[in-house]
Amino acid sequence: MDADVDDGVLPLTANTGLAPFAIEKVGVVGAGQMGNGIAHVCALAGLPVVLLDARAEALPAAKATMARNMDRQVARELISEAERDAALARVLTSTDYASFENCDMVIEAATEKEAVKLAIYRTLTPHLKPSCMLASNTSSISITRLGASTDRPEKFIGMHFMNPVPVMKLVEIIRGIATDEATFQATQALAAKLSKTTSVSEDFPAFIVNRILVPMINEAVYALYEGVGSVAAIDTAMKLGANHPMGPLELADFIGLDTCLSIMQVLYEGLSDSKYRPCPLLVKYVEAGWLGRKTRRGFYDYTQTPPRPTR
Ligand code: NAD
């Protein structure tokens, strides 16, 4: 187990002196890129997982992605074939919320729309045992507000994984105003079991990583919009000048320009500060449906090999 901690992390037994409530079975709602990654790391850590999606066809696709990603880990000798097979066998897929009845923690990783998440909690919570905790992987929505909509705000918490989940080491943990200490400790212990390092963020718009990262991306789009540099010049400058592994525009395409825009809107509205105004060029790309890698066009054209800068 990775025992890395950073300054924002409390020891697992802080305040209580008691071992945290052990999470033995996990549910995941949403089998998209994040949900399938979360199921992947939970299953590899030995936890039985129930993975649910509203779209039945998303489930075999998620299982196939998980198998492919684990094959890569086998090829790199990070896990054995036996560990891969055992992990895949621990993931049960379902479209029925009743499958969550024995879970100790359900992590919601559905589409980043508040109305979608609230509707999921309404359907989900009647199927949960009273002790079951509920986490959201939201990138930006208020944990306090999401938790308040449920029957268990004290057991509700933000568990913000990074993309791609099996590779990225960080999980941000966000307590809502009502989240109790036992839930916080159990969530920290779960993250440690998944070999993740945690960083604790207060419940403010976009938390820590996206509060800093996405305005930087937005500024890179402004630099492009104002003609300070071309796509290639901006990305090369930040890769070689700031030692970033990816340029900001390349990273924006990877995250999804729609996601970047919606995080800027949450920051702009949530903090009422004009410094967070989304760049008009970012808005225009999203309006055009040029969302980055997922639509094969964003700041780069992914139909070309290697991808060609579009400006
Ligand atoms: P995605 O579009 O890949 O997956 C979302 C999944 O939710 C889809 O499979 C969809 O069918 C499912 N879904 C939608 N409505 C549902 C419902 N009512 N019931 C059950 N399932 C439903 O999105 P994603 O990138 O995996 O993002 C999921 C969450 O993770 C969002 O809250 C997002 O902000 C957050 N997040 C995303 C990233 C990222 O880089 N993509 C990083 C960190 C956190």
Q: Using CA of residue 288, residue 292, residue 296, residue 298, what is the dihedral sign?
A: positive
Q: How far apart are CA 311 and CA 9, in angstroms?
A: 42
- Does the beta carbon of 53 sit less than 6 angstroms from any atom of ligand 1? yes
- 81 is known as an active-site residue: no
The helix-helix angle for 209-225 and 257-271 (nearest 10°) equals 110
Q: What is the pLDDT of residue 2?
A: 34
Q: Tens digit of pLDDT for each residue in 30-76?
A: 999 899 999 999 999 999 999 999 999 999 999 999 999 999 999 99
Q: Tens digit of pLDDT for each residue in 66-112?
A: 999 999 999 999 999 999 999 999 999 999 999 999 999 999 999 88
Residue to substitute in 29, 33, 34, 66 for testing ligand 1 pocket (most ligand atoms within 8 angstroms of CB): 34
**DSSP 3-state of 61:** helix
pTM: 0.88
What average pLDDT does the segment 270-279 reach? 96
Ligand 1 geometric centre to CA of 196 (Å)? 20
- Per-residue CA distances from 107 to 156, 190, 231 (Å): 10, 11, 37
Q: How far apart are CA 83 and CA 8, in angstroms?
A: 32
User: Has residue 284 got a pLDDT over 60?
Assistant: yes
- Per-residue CA distances from 74 to 1, 40, 71, 195 (Å): 19, 14, 5, 18
Q: Using CA of residue 62, residue 294, residue 250, residue 143, what is the dihedral sign?
A: negative
Of 95-99, 198-202, 262-266, the least confident: 262-266
Q: What is the pLDDT of residue 40?
A: 98
User: How open is the CA angle 251-254-259, to the nearest 5 degrees?
Assistant: 95
- 77 is known as an active-site residue: no
- 114 is known as an active-site residue: no
Cβ-in-10-Å burial (0-12, 13-18, 19+) of 237 comes to middle
Ligand 1 atom having least distance to the Cα of 58: 9
Task: Retrieve residue 244's tokens.
Answer: 């970033």
- Residue in the block written with tokens 């419940």: 203
Q: Tens digit of pLDDT for each residue in 8-27?
A: 444 444 444 556 678 999 99
Q: How far apart are CA 140 and CA 142, in angstroms?
A: 7
Dmax (CA) of the chain: 57
Q: How far apart are CA 290 and CA 253, in angstroms?
A: 9
Q: How far apart are CA 30 and CA 121, in angstroms?
A: 12
What average pLDDT does the segment 277-303 reach? 97
What average pLDDT does the segment 117-133 reach? 98
In the chain the domains, ranked by start, together with CATH numbers, are 26-201 (3.40.50.720), 210-309 (1.10.1040.10)
Q: What is the pLDDT of residue 6?
A: 38
Band (pLDDT 50/70/90 cuts) for residue 140 is confident
- Does the beta carbon of 93 sit less than 6 angstroms from any atom of ligand 1? no
Ligand 1 atom having least distance to the Cα of 34: 26
Ligand 1 geometric centre to CA of 260 (Å)? 14
